Amino acid sequence: MKQILLIACLLFSSLGQTKIDLASVHSINKIDGENYLVKLKNGKVEFVSSEQQIEQFSDMIKPSYSFSLNEEAPIFEPTIIEGLKEAKALFQRLNSNYKRSSECSNRAHVWAYEEFLKNQIKSNKVFLFFTASYINRHHFKWWFHVAPLYKVRVGNQIVDYVFDYMFDSEPRLIKQWTDNFVFSKRSCKRTTKFSEYDVNPQTEDCYLMIESMYYWMPTDLQDQETSGKYKVNFYPYEIKGAYDQAF
Amino acid sequence: MKIKNPLLVLMSLVGIMACGKEKPPTTKHISFYESFETGQFRAILRPLNNQLNGWIPNGVADISISNKEFKIKSWLDDSANVTHRQFVTMVSKCPTISNDSNGDGLIDFKEAFQSTKKILIPLDSDLSIYSEENPQYPKGNFNYEQKIDLNKLQLQNNMGLELNGKALIVLGTSISKDLPNSVSSFENALPQLSIPIACGIIKKIN
C-alpha cells in the first residue's frame, strides 16, 4: 500500500497551483514565451506559465510523427437513418443516466455502442479539436470534444447529423454543432490526419475528424496515423471503461 | 397518474391560513380542484449563451412528485462562481437565438420569457415561500437538493403543478463578464446574474 502511495506521489507533479497527474497528460503545446498549454487525456486543458515546471514533461512537447500506414483502411458503412423523424426518436432514446463528471469520449462510446447493440445501427464519431490559439484566446477549457454522428436521409440526400445529447436537444448539422463550442463561428477544417491539427495550432480555430463508431479517444486517431492501427470492433475493456467512468 | 387528493384540501387551507399574509397575491398552494401528475421527471440542462465563458454549462435536474411530496435533486457544472437563480417556468420551450429580439447576440431573461409572470417555482433554499428581497439560490458548480410537503409548495402566478413539458432555466454568469447595455436585468439583479446560461425541458421518465 505504501509503495502504491509513493508511486502516486511521484506521478503527481505540481505545476503552479495545479496538480497534474503525469499519466493524465496527452500532450503539451507551447503557446508563447513561457506559456504552455497542457492537454489532458480527458479533454480538459491546463495553462502553465513556467519553463522549469514543464521540464519534466519535455518529451511530451511537440511529438514527432511518422506516416507509415501498414494496413489498408477497412471499409465501414454506417447505417442510414430513414428521415429526421426517426433520427429524433433515436436521439430521444439515448441514455440520459450519465454521471456529472462524465467525459465526452465515454458518453459518445456508450451511446454509439448501445444503439448498435440494441438496434444494430452503425454510426460514426465526429471529433472536434480546438487549436492552442483558440483555447488561449477564449480561455476555453477543453482541447477536444466528440459525439456520435449519424447519416440521415433527408429528401433524396444523405446528411450527417451530430447526436450530442448532453449539449443539444436534437440532432444537429455539423456546423450547428461546432458553433456551440467555436465562438468565432469559424468552420472547422476537416482532416484525416491528427498530426495536421497538432502541428498547425495557429492557423485555424478547430479541426474535425470523422471516424467509425469504434474510435474512442484521440489516441486512437494518432495510433491509426502513426502505426496503421485501424479499429474495426468495440473492445470489451473499452466499453467497460466507458460505462464505469460515464454512467 | 392523475390524482385528486381530498387530504390536500385540508392541508392547503391550513397552509393558506398559516402563511397567507406573507405571500404575494399571485402565489398559491395545491388546491383540491386541480389535478397533478405524480412520478419521476427529468430535465437535461443544456447551455444557453454558450459564448459567455470558456466552460459550456450543463447539468441534470431530477424531480419526483408523490401524493405527499415534491422533491428535486439537480447539479450544474459551470465555471462562473456566482449565484445561479433557477426556476421551473410555465413555458414549454427553451429559448434559442431566434429569441434575441434586440440582436445583441445574447438571449436575456426578458427575451426568453417576456416577464417574471412565466415563473412557476423558484428553486431556492425554501420552496414554501418566495422572497424577492433575499432569495438563496445555489452558487457556482452546484449540487441542489430540496424536498417539501406538497401542501407547502408555493406555486407562482396561480398556476397548477403540471411539470411535464415545462422549461427549467438557470441564470447567472461571471460578474466580470462585459455585457452589452441591452442585456436586461431580473428583479434588480446585475445583468450578469440575470442572463440565462442553461435550460432544459422537464420530461416524465417514470
Q: What pLDDT is stored for residue A242 in this prediction?
A: 97
More confident of the two residues B181 and A199: B181
- Residues with Cβ within 8 Å of B135's Cβ and at least 6 positions away in sequence, in order, are B85, B122, B124
Question: Do A183 and B50 make contact, defined as CB atoms within 8 angstroms?
Answer: yes
The answer, yes or no, to whether residue A129 has pLDDT greater than 50, is yes
Query: What does the pLDDT look like over A219-236, one tens digit per residue?
Result: 999 999 998 889 999 999
The answer on A235 and A162 residing in a single domain is yes
Task: State the pLDDT confidence band at B19, using cuts at 50, 70 and 90.
Answer: very low
Q: What pLDDT is stored for residue A106 in this prediction?
A: 97
Range(s) of the domain holding residue A188: 80-246
Question: Do B56 and A96 make contact, defined as CB atoms within 8 angstroms?
Answer: no
Among B24-28, B34-38, B67-71, B115-119, which range has the highest average pLDDT? B67-71
B94: which chain A residues are within 8 Å (Cβ-Cβ)? 169
Helix (H) or strand (E) holding A150: strand A144-154
Task: State the pLDDT confidence band at A82, using cuts at 50, 70 and 90.
Answer: very high
Of all residues in chain B, the one with the smallest CA distance to A167 is: B46
Looking at chain A, the whole-number percentage of residues with pLDDT higher than 70 is 80
- Counting every residue written for chain B, the total comes to 206
Rg (CA), chain A: 19
Rounded to an integer, the average pLDDT of B75-97 is 92
Partner B contacted by A96 (CB < 8 A): yes
Query: What does the pLDDT look like over A163-192, one tens digit per residue?
Result: 999 999 999 999 999 999 999 999 999 999
Q: Three-state SS for A181?
A: coil
Chain B, residues 183-202, CB within 8 A of chain A, namely: 201
The answer on A143 and A235 residing in a single domain is yes
Rounded to an integer, the average pLDDT of A105-117 is 98
A140: which chain B residues are within 8 Å (Cβ-Cβ)? 54
The domain tally of chain A equals 2
Partner B contacted by A93 (CB < 8 A): no
Partner A contacted by B139 (CB < 8 A): no
In a domain, A2, yes or no: no
The answer, yes or no, to whether residue B200 has pLDDT greater than 50, is yes
Q: What pLDDT is stored for residue B34 in this prediction?
A: 61
Rounded to an integer, the average pLDDT of B70-79 is 94
In a domain, A66, yes or no: no
Q: Which of B50, B75, B201 sits opposite A180 (nearest CB)?
A: B50
- Which of A167, A168, A149, A169 has its CA nearest to residue A159? A149
Lowest-confidence segment of A20-24, A101-105, A240-244, B12-16 by average pLDDT: B12-16
The answer on A159 and A227 residing in a single domain is yes
The answer on A29 and A138 residing in a single domain is no
Lowest-confidence segment of A17-26, A52-61, A62-71, B119-128 by average pLDDT: A62-71
The answer, yes or no, to whether residue B2 has pLDDT greater than 90, is no
Lowest-confidence segment of A48-62, A206-220, B111-125 by average pLDDT: A48-62
Task: State the pLDDT confidence band at B7, using cuts at 50, 70 and 90.
Answer: very low
Rounded to an integer, the average pLDDT of B135-160 is 88
Task: State the pLDDT confidence band at B116, using cuts at 50, 70 and 90.
Answer: low
Q: What pLDDT is stored for residue A180 in this prediction?
A: 94
Partner A contacted by B44 (CB < 8 A): yes
Q: What pLDDT is stored for residue A15 in this prediction?
A: 41
Q: How many CA atoms lie within 13 A of B144 on its CB side?
A: 30
Q: How many CA atoms lie within 13 A of A143 on its CB side?
A: 26
Q: Does domain B2-204 have CATH number 3.30.70?
A: no
Rounded to an integer, the average pLDDT of B131-149 is 88
Lowest-confidence segment of A12-16, A54-58, A72-76, A210-214 by average pLDDT: A12-16
Delimit the domains of chain B by residue range. Answer: 2-204
Residue B192 distance to chain A (closest CA, Å): 18
Sheet holding A25-32, edge to edge: A25-32, A35-40, A45-48
Q: What pLDDT is stored for residue B26 in this prediction?
A: 61
Of all residues in chain B, the one with the smallest CA distance to A170 is: B46
Q: Are B141 and B170 in contact (CB under 8 A)?
A: no
Residue A140 distance to chain B (closest CA, Å): 4
Q: What pLDDT is stored for residue B161 in this prediction?
A: 86
Lowest-confidence segment of A48-62, B148-162, B178-192 by average pLDDT: A48-62
The answer, yes or no, to whether residue A117 has pLDDT greater than 90, is yes
Give me the DSSP letters along B61-115.
EEEEE-SSEEEEEEEEE-S--SB--EEEES-SS---GGG-TT-SS---HHHHHSS
In a domain, A74, yes or no: no
Partner A contacted by B54 (CB < 8 A): yes
Q: How far apart are CA B61 and CA B109, in angstroms?
A: 20
List phi, psi (to 5°) of B205: -115, -15
Partner A contacted by B50 (CB < 8 A): yes
The answer on A89 and A37 residing in a single domain is no
Task: State the pLDDT confidence band at B10, using cuts at 50, 70 and 90.
Answer: very low
Rounded to an integer, the average pLDDT of B160-177 is 92
The answer on A219 and A111 residing in a single domain is yes
In a domain, A122, yes or no: yes
Q: What pLDDT is stored for residue B6 in this prediction?
A: 46
In a domain, A204, yes or no: yes
The answer on A104 and A23 residing in a single domain is no
The answer, yes or no, to whether residue B173 has pLDDT greater than 90, is yes
Q: What is the pTM of this model?
A: 0.81
The answer on A161 and A202 residing in a single domain is yes
Partner A contacted by B58 (CB < 8 A): yes
The answer on A124 and A32 residing in a single domain is no
Q: What pLDDT is stored for residue A19 in this prediction?
A: 60
- Which of A195, A188, A181 has its CA nearest to residue A225? A195
Q: What is the ipTM of this complex?
A: 0.80
A96: which chain B residues are within 8 Å (Cβ-Cβ)? 42, 44, 60, 205
Interface test with B, best of A165, A180, A184, A186 (most B CBs within 10 A): A180
Question: Do B56 and A183 make contact, defined as CB atoms within 8 angstroms?
Answer: no
For residue A51 the three cell numbers come to 519553463
Average pLDDT score, chain B: 83
